Amino acid sequence: MNKKLRYAATAIAIIAAAIYLNNTNLLTEHRDGKPVLLAHRGMAQRFDERDLKNDTCTAARMLPPTHEYQENTISSMRASFAAGADIVELDVHPTTDGEFAVFHDWTLDCRTDGQGVTREHSMADLKKLDIAHGYTADGGKTFPFRGKGVGQMPTLAEVLSTFPQARLLINVKSRDASEGEKLAAVLAKLPAERRVQIMVYGGDEPVDAVRKRLPEIRTISRATIKSCLLGYIGYGWTGLVPKACSNAMVMLPINVAPWMWGWPDRFLNRMKAANSEVFVLGPYRGGEFSSGVDTSEQFARLPQNFSGGIWTNEIEVIAPLVRK
């Protein structure tokens, strides 16, 4: 081997060693403590997740129920916290009378006995609906919750007053920047110590509006999470954290996590230093529906003594595993 090749080989070996030392978990602190559990939509009725599309009526493909709770309701959130959730996720839509309705769907036709676009109604009218009207596990033969959800669609104000100390994740369903500005105006009225317990995610434009108005609130959108994760995969080996990962809620599919430099401990520490919080989701499959960590098998894929966040649709399944 000539001198040039030897120098090149030595340089490559030094660079490889530097990258290893900068990203190995052997030389970083492990954060003790239990994982932070995030209950997506609170305690909700589960449904068949195969071949989902944006307009799929999930209430019409409900699995046989194991509990009585409906997603995005006060009782569901209360049950989630009681089951072990540290954070509850909820969905919001502005209404014609200046409120924010807590409800998942863009339209009312699937779950409720109402019709039309959710945000084109007043909160007073939405309060009259039965939000459990459309749930069926047998193709429409029976509707076990029909009539039990009348008046159960809460406002964001009701959630905030019912759970004044609880951590919440608010999902903005639109791409309308003005909606983010309206939400920021609501959250700005809360004490500063309360706002830091709230996170916001959703459409790029409204989330950006919240981020600019209230930088103390952790946020994430489709554009920023893509920029965060791809940027980190590209140059995170240097220890640098992309700007999109700062002051953020970092949503990380469980099958993408091993691609993160320094996963798990060094990655979690870097995100913490950037004032961000990491939540592991279920597997991502190229544009398909990405669920939560919802089974014992998925939970077992997490690193031993994992102390980051876990996004789950099955808080009643995952919380007991954490307690063990």
Instruction: Say yes or no to pLDDT of 288 above 60.
Output: no
Instruction: Say yes or no to pLDDT of 283 above 60.
Output: yes
Please check whether residue 147 lies inside any domain of the structure. Answer: no
∠ CA(52), CA(55), CA(58), 5° rounding?
Answer: 60
Please check whether residue 127 lies inside any domain of the structure. Answer: no
**Is the distance from CB of 47 to CB of 63 less than 8 angstroms?**
yes
Mean pLDDT of 219-241: 96
Which residues are registered as beta bridge partners of 92? 102, 172
pLDDT level of residue 111 (50, 70, 90 thresholds)? very high
Question: How far, in Å, CA of 185 to CA of 324, rounded?
Answer: 42
- Spatial CB neighbours of 209, under 8 Å, sequence gap ≥ 6: 177, 178, 179, 180, 181, 184
Please check whether residue 119 lies inside any domain of the structure. Answer: no
- Counted domains in the chain: 1
Please check whether residue 132 lies inside any domain of the structure. Answer: no
CB count in 10 Å sphere of residue 278: 24
Segments of 26-181 assigned E as strands = 36-39, 87-94, 100-102, 167-172
Query: What pLDDT sits at residue 290?
Result: 62
Strands 167-172 and 309-312: unpaired
Please check whether residue 187 lies inside any domain of the structure. Answer: yes
pLDDT level of residue 202 (50, 70, 90 thresholds)? very high
Instruction: Say yes or no to pLDDT of 6 above 90.
Output: no
Query: What pLDDT sits at residue 289?
Result: 53
Query: What pLDDT sits at residue 21?
Result: 78
Question: How far, in Å, CA of 74 to CA of 82, rounded?
Answer: 12
> Which residue range forms the structural domain that includes residue 264?
31-53+65-106+154-323
Environment class of residue 321 by beta-carbon count within 10 Å: exposed (0-12), middle (13-18) or buried (19+)?
Answer: middle
Percent of the chain's residues with pLDDT above 90: 84
Query: What pLDDT sits at residue 29?
Result: 81
Q: Which domain CATH number covers 213? A: 3.20.20.190
Highest mean pLDDT among 22-26, 50-54, 64-68: 64-68
Please check whether residue 308 lies inside any domain of the structure. Answer: yes
Percent of the chain's residues with pLDDT above 70: 98
Mean pLDDT of 106-132: 98
Question: How far, in Å, CA of 295 to CA of 288, rounded?
Answer: 18
Report which DSSP code applies to 246.
Answer: T
CA dist 256 → 55, 124, 137, 226, 322 (Å): 27, 43, 33, 12, 22
Question: How far, in Å, CA of 30 to CA of 305, rounded?
Answer: 9
Question: How far, in Å, CA of 35 to CA of 302, rounded?
Answer: 10
Question: How far, in Å, CA of 38 to CA of 292, rounded?
Answer: 9
* Structure tokens that stand for 36 in this block: 């932070």
Interval 133-173: pLDDT, tens? 999 999 999 999 999 999 999 999 999 999 999 999 999 99
Please check whether residue 58 lies inside any domain of the structure. Answer: no
**Is the distance from CB of 28 to CB of 269 less than 8 angstroms?**
yes
Query: Which residue, among 244, 223, 234, has the nearest Cα to 175 in the 3D structure?
Result: 223
pLDDT level of residue 183 (50, 70, 90 thresholds)? very high
Please check whether residue 59 lies inside any domain of the structure. Answer: no
Question: How far, in Å, CA of 95 to CA of 214, rounded?
Answer: 22
